[in-house]
Structure formats: C-alpha cells, structure tokens
C-alpha cells in the first residue's frame, strides 16, 4: 500500500503475477497471438455451418455519437472534395473531365472499434515482454500495433453473452463478472470455452451511451471482468489469445475491490500478452446466436498497419 492513499499500486497488486515475457523469444511483439497457429485458423473454419457473415465494427461518425474513453474525442471526417469543388472557375481539371470525392479522418486510433497494441499500457517502467517503457516515447518502437496487423487474427471465437445470461438488456454501470461467470455463461449457452478460444464478451453496456447522451459519462465506470489472481491464472491456463468486448475498455473501469484503474490491462495485456479488442458491436451476432444456438464461429480480424501506433481501428469479421 502507498501511504498517501488506501489504493495499492499496480506493482503491489500484481506482485508475483505470471508473465509470458520471453516465452516467444526476446523480440516478440504479438504475445498470446502466438497461440493461434494455422491449426487454430482451421479449427475456426471447421465451425462454419451456414456461411452467415457478421462485422463487429461500430460506425465511425455515427449520427447518434461515437462512444469513446473519456479523455478521447470521436473522430471527425472532413469532406475535402465533392461536386461543389467544380463549381468555381479555379476548379481542378483532369483530362477527360473526371470529378471525384475525397475526405479525411481526424481520429484517435483507439477512438472506435479497435485493437490495442501490446505496448499500449504498462507500469513499473516496462511494457510487454520486458521492453523499456521509454521505447514508447514519440511512438512505440516495440510492441506497436503494426506487428499485430501484420500477423492478423484467425481462430475459433466464442460469444459469451453475459447480458442475456443475466437476463438483462444490458449490464449496469460498474457491474462485474469473473472467469467463473464466463464458464457458467458458456455452459448455459450449451457450449464450452476451449483452450485458445478468442473470447467475445457481450454486455450491451454501450446501449446506455445512446440512451443517456452526456449523462453516460457521469461517474464513468464500465461493467466488465474484475481482477483476481484466479482469473489471471485461468487466462494463462486457457492460453487465451485475444479478449474482445463491446465496452470501451474490456474490464470494470475501477476495480471495486482494490480501487485500481484497469488492472487487467496490466495483468493480461502487459504481463501475459493477451491482445485486447474494444468497442465492438455484438448486437446482430448475439441475436443470431440466440436464435440458432451456435455460439462458436470463425473469428478473423486485422487492425490497420499504422507505424509505431498504440492501437488501430478494426472491423472484425465473424463467419458462422
Ligand atoms: C485505456 O487503456 C485508457 O484505454 P483502452 O484500453 O480502452 O484503449
């Protein structure tokens, strides 16, 4: 414990917590995605029964607003060229009379459905695989999103519809669940979480962003997984490569037991190399899974290849 407050430091909380540093060599930058081999891609393919396709990205520039982490702003798209560009006498001229539309996006790379780079969070001066946190200065020289983007993700995904399991339209502010709840939820759905599954967790919490407007950010505490030694051990034992959710930060924002912000980002991402995917829209997929009872599928995704970036937008694809 620090003397100034009752809240322990992350170092204190995660003292002795397992790491996978060095497991895939001293130069590794993709962490637990190493668990997803060609055989796992084929295992995902083997679940395909109907060929139904689902995209999990939220709209960027939603007229109803884009939910983002409180310190970030939604993306702004600016129209640069359109038919009006050709209204005046100084209009560009292209041989043959071509006109076209162009636009640009000013966006937080983590301001929409996104992959976090493994170097996105840290404590104690070290990021994933033990790289020095100074390697993040001015851009991530290590464990940026680029290696994740180059590798891509393909494997068996499993939807864990916690909201439906709890009989709720959406989880409430600060509501928590554990790995045991995930196991029980899978069982209630008639399936089992297998080693190396991509976990896709539905809370439908962001419904409140659209229902409540600005009030959504009052006392901002998202629901989600809550830290425990047992939960971290379970992720390690199950060799989970990728944690995907429909919340902004994949875990309860402030741990209700210890008061620490986002400890699972540290225990799972920084220490185990579990890759995080956030702000997904799981509504159509969840409705379909509830209807046909098939909660496992091929999950594929590739974030954008952005040099030295700490995250990148993504539009994950599920095929059932
Ligand atoms: C933070 O870690 C602050 O944000 P996120 O993981 O939600 O991108």
Residues, the chain: 320
The CATH 3.50.30.50 portion of the chain extends over: 17-67+110-319
Which residue, among 192, 188, 116, 203, has the nearest Cα to 158 in the 3D structure?
192
Q: Is 278 in the pocket of ligand 1 (CB under 6 A)?
A: yes
Query: DSSP string of 93-114?
Result: --TT-----EEEEE--TTSSSE
Task: pLDDT band for 253, please (50, 70, 90 cuts).
Answer: very high
Q: What is the pLDDT of residues 280-303, one digit of tens each?
A: 999 999 999 999 999 999 999 999
The string of pLDDT tens digits covering residues 108-126 is 999 999 999 999 999 999 9
The answer, yes or no, to whether residue 2 has pLDDT greater than 80, is no
Rounded distance, CA 203 to CA 168, Å? 9
5 band by pLDDT with thresholds 50, 70 and 90 = low
Question: What percent of the chain lies above the pLDDT cut of 70?
Answer: 98
pLDDT digits (tens, 9 = 90+) for 33-71: 999 999 999 999 999 999 999 999 999 999 999 999 999
The predicted model scores a pTM of 0.97
Q: Over the stretch 65-112, which tens digit does the pLDDT of each residue have?
A: 999 999 999 999 999 999 999 999 999 999 999 999 999 999 999 999
Contact at 8 Å (CB) between 225 and 263? Answer: no
Question: In this predicted structure, what is the pLDDT of residue 287?
Answer: 98
Q: Which of helix, strand or coil describes residue 236?
A: helix
CB contact at 8 A, 159 and 285 = yes
Residue nearest to ligand 1 atom 4, measured at CA: 249
For ligand 1, say whether the CB of 118 is within 6 Å of any of its atoms.
no
Name the residue of 71, 73, 110, 268 to mutate for ligand 1: max ligand atoms within 8 A of Cβ. 110
Please give the radius of gyration of the chain, using alpha carbons only, rounded to the nearest integer. Answer: 21
- Please state, in angstroms and rounded to a whole number, the distance separating the CA atoms of residues 112 and 60: 7
Kindly report, residue by residue over 218-245, the tens digit of the pLDDT: 999 999 999 999 999 999 999 999 999 9
Q: What is the pLDDT of residues 141-179, one digit of tens each?
A: 999 999 999 999 999 999 999 999 999 999 999 999 999
Q: Is the pLDDT of residue 1 over 50?
A: no
Kindly tell me if the per-residue pLDDT of 4 is higher than 60.
Answer: no
* pLDDT at residue 221, as a whole number: 97
The pLDDT mean for the chain works out to 97
Q: What is 153-192 written as a DSSP string?
A: EEEEEEEEEHHHHTT-SSPPTT-EE-HHHHHHHHHHTT--
List the strands of the sheet with 311-313, edge to edge: 53-55, 317-319, 296-301, 153-161, 198-202, 242-245, 275-278, 114-116, 311-313
pLDDT in tens, 180-220: 999 999 999 999 999 999 999 999 999 999 999 989 999 99
Do residues 240 and 32 make contact, with C-beta atoms less than 8 angstroms apart?
yes
Average pLDDT over residues 313-317: 98
Who contacts 82 (Cβ-Cβ below 8 Å, separation ≥6)? 101
CATH 3.50.30.50 for domain 17-67+110-319, yes or no, is: yes
Q: Is 220 in the pocket of ligand 1 (CB under 6 A)?
A: no
- Cα torsion 122, 125, 131, 135: sign: positive
Distance from residue 99's CA to the centre of ligand 1 (Å): 41
Cβ(28)–Cβ(285) below 8 Å: no
Q: Which atom of ligand 1 is nearest to the CA of 276?
A: 6
Please work out, in degrees rounded to the nearest 5, the angle formed at the alpha carbon of residue 273 by the alpha carbons of 265 and 138. 70
């Amino acid at each position: 414990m620090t003397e100034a407050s009752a809240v322990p430091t992350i170092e204190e909380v995660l003292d002795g917590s397992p790491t996978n540093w060095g497991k895939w060599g001293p130069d590794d930058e993709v962490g637990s995605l190493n668990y997803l081999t060609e055989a796992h891609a084929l295992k995902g393919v083997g679940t395909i029964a109907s060929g139904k396709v689902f995209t999990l990205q939220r709209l960027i520039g939603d007229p109803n607003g884009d939910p983002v982490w409180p310190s970030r702003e939604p993306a702004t798209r600016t129209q640069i060229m359109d038919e009006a560009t050709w209204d005046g006498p100084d209009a560009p001229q292209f041989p043959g009379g071509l006109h076209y539309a162009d636009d640009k996006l000013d966006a937080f790379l983590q301001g929409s459905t996104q992959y976090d780079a493994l170097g996105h969070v840290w404590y104690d001066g070290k990021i994933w695989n033990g790289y020095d946190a100074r390697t993040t200065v001015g851009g991530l020289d290590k464990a940026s999103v680029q290696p994740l983007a180059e590798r891509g993700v393909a494997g068996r995904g499993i939807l864990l519809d916690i909201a439906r399991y709890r009989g709720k339209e959406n989880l409430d502010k600060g509501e928590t669940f554990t790995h045991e709840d995930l196991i029980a939820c899978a069982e209630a759905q008639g399936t089992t979480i297998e080693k190396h599954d991509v976990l896709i967790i539905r809370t439908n919490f962001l419904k409140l962003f659209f229902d409540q407007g600005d009030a959504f950010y009052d006392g901002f505490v998202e629901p989600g997984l809550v830290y425990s030694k047992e939960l971290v051990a379970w992720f390690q034992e199950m060799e989970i490569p990728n944690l995907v959710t429909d919340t902004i930060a994949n875990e309860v924002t402030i741990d209700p037991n210890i008061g620490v912000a986002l400890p699972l980002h540290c225990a799972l991402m920084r220490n185990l190399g579990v890759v995080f995917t956030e702000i997904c829209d799981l509504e159509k997929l969840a409705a379909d899974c509830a209807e046909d009872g098939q909660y496992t599928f091929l999950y594929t995704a590739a974030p954008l290849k952005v040099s030295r970036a700490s995250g990148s937008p993504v539009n994950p694809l599920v095929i059932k």
